[in-house]
């Protein structure tokens, strides 16, 4: 009985010592969007993220020296909206949201995915199924291009039969 009490007391002391450890405190203060600058345009003028989130397309054209077309302005406004969503109300910059957004663009977020297209074009519906089964960051892009590849295969087949 004494051995059991001694073991339980020792176990309680060990477990309580693990619970007493405080989580590490981040030494980095949160970043303010108005303090993050990067060069833009031909002259390398600096602009903050806060300014970029609120700037008008005409002012951006003056900075870059290039005229934006209609679809460029729409894309610019959509990017501004995502940037505004990554800035909290107190002006701090939420890095998690931006990392998620940048990861999508770095990995070819909505661009052409040759692997997905090849799966759909060369293997047909089986390739589309394979695209669905592969799980990674590019799954949605791969599946989209697998369907497009399969559709291209079907169109070519119909043209050959006519």
Instruction: Look at residue 155 in the predicted model and tell me its pLDDT.
Output: 93
Question: Largest alpha-carbon pair distance within the chain?
Answer: 92
Mean of the per-residue pLDDT values of the chain: 79
Interior angle at CA 47, CA 40 and CA 100, nearest 5: 85
3 backbone dihedrals φ, ψ, rounded to 5°:
-65, -40
Give the tokens for residue 65.
């020296």
**First-residue to last-residue Cα distance in the chain:** 91
Give the tokens for residue 84.
């505004």
Instruction: Look at residue 15 in the predicted model and tell me its pLDDT.
Output: 59
Instruction: Look at residue 110 in the predicted model and tell me its pLDDT.
Output: 61
Please report which confidence band the pLDDT of residue 59 belongs to, taking 50, 70 and 90 as the band edges.
Answer: confident
β-sheet bridge partners, residue 92: 32
- Prediction pTM value: 0.44
Instruction: Look at residue 23 in the predicted model and tell me its pLDDT.
Output: 55
Residues above pLDDT 70, as percent of the chain: 74
Ranking 19-33, 76-90, 105-119 by mean pLDDT, the lowest is: 19-33
pLDDT of 97 > 60? The answer is yes
pLDDT of 94 > 80? The answer is no
> What is the distance between the alpha carbons of residues 31 and 47, in angstroms, rounded to a whole number?
15
Q: Which residue has the higher pLDDT, 88 or 106?
A: 88
> What is the distance between the alpha carbons of residues 5 and 156, in angstroms, rounded to a whole number?
80
């Amino acid at each position: 009985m004494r051995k059991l009490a001694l073991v339980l007391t020792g176990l309680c002391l060990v477990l309580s010592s693990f619970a007493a450890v405080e989580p590490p405190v981040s030494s980095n203060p949160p970043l303010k969007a108005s303090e993050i600058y990067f060069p833009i345009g031909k002259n390398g003028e600096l602009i903050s993220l806060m300014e970029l989130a609120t700037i008008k397309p005409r002012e951006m054209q003056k900075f870059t020296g290039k005229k934006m077309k209609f679809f460029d302005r729409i894309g610019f406004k959509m990017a501004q909206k995502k940037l505004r969503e990554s800035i909290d109300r107190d002006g701090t910059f939420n890095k998690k949201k931006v990392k998620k957004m940048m990861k999508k663009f770095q990995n070819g977020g909505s661009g052409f995915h040759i692997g997905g297209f090849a799966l759909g074009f060369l293997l047909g519906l089986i390739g589309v199924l394979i695209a669905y089964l592969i799980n990674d960051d590019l799954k949605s892009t791969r599946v989209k291009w697998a369907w497009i590849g399969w559709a291209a295969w079907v169109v070519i087949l119909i043209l050959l039969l006519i």
